[in-house]
Amino acid sequence: MDHFLYRDGALYAEDVPVAEIAARVGTPFYCYSTATLTRHFRLFDEALEGTDHLVCYAMKAASNQAILKTLAGLGAGMDVVSGGEYARARAAGVPGEKIVFSGVGKTRQEMRLALEGGIRQFNVESEPEMRALSEVAMSLGTRAPITIRVNPDVDAKTHAKIATGKSENKFGIPIARAREVYAEAAALPGLEVIGIDVHIGSQLTELEPFRLAYLKVAELTETLRADGHDIRRLDLGGGLGIPYARSNEAPPLPTDYGALIKETVGHLGCEIEIEPGRLVAGNAGILVSRVIYVKEGEGRNFLILDGAMNDLIRPAMYDAHHDIVPVLEPTPGAEQTPYDIVGPVCESGDTFARGRMMPPLAEGDLVAFRGAGAYGAVMASEYNTRPLVPEVLVHEHQFAVIRARPTFDEMINRDTIPEWL
């Protein structure tokens, strides 16, 4: 469910007409709904009610500080994967003790930044990282709290580029080697081992892969405790998917996911962390674009938009589907025509959809890409010297620009000309 609905023949974001935002801000732009962000976060939080838990929003999905501040105000922790994300979380007012640092390539500089600023835990992904973190912590006269990410060799049944829990993926240590790696971690003077981390992928549409992974984590917890480790926290990752095409069967609900967690690891008495990102932010955002031209081609017609692959790269990178709807509601029974929906970037890959059935559209009409709140604005670029698009946050009848569109001068003036030129 989201809060982007037709009302009186026009698409609204909560209580604000999308066309009104377009008139004020220009296109293309991202628009987020506070009500949807709030609802989706609370679904996860309520799903774990009765357990000691923390829902850590995976910032990589959408990291604008206004979004972070909205979620932090609801009690969210943050899952970060870079020093920049850590700095963003802190700037949004998130305390260090509610920030989890994940990622396979943490640098010593990033480790120092988090240790000095405060951190809930590092999710360590390899033995070299573990040793480096111990050295950094010792140089600061402290100990770093860690979980170790184990790779359970479970097929998440998702896109190959966002699967992370198979043995051939770069993430974590093989679960078969966990005992020896935990033994080494316990012997390193700069580390405090507190738990286990697992994350098997993104955009999962069924619960069985989670079940298989979490049962392995439960077994490992008991084994490590028998070895003398104080395993008191389980970071179970995120990955629950969203329905990008409204005609598709909906993925499992957070309530079902929460019940699975309680069933598989609830008996262990551990604090539970989860790291949802896509399901919190995905349907909370749309990308609004304008039709520049309607072009008749050889055997096909094109809708050429002012939005492009640099604004929303998911279709080009993942062959991802986004429902694309007119901002003015089509009349019931309006005739549908197949269009290739494309942007102005000089690459054939700048294609959002092929043969997509759409109602009649003309130059100047507005369209909205649904489900664009996650991995949209955060993955945008200035390719072709196209400005990063604005981000807008709606709250009931109000809206605010939370990231402005840069001018060409602002973009160009970031370059520096050497003296010899």
Residues with Cβ within 8 Å of residue 228, at least 6 apart in sequence: 186
Q: How far apart are CA 402 and CA 400, in angstroms?
A: 6
Residue 159's Cβ-count burial label (10 Å; 0-12, 13-18, 19+) is middle
In Å, what is the CA distance from 258 to each residue of 78, 115, 139, 213?
A: 19, 31, 40, 14
CA-nearest of 360, 389, 406, 204 to 285 is: 389
Active-site amino acid positions: 346
CA distance 103 to 106: 6
Residue 315 identity (one-letter amino acid): P
Q: How far apart are CA 302 and CA 128, in angstroms?
A: 51
| C-beta neighbour count of 245 within 10 angstroms | 11
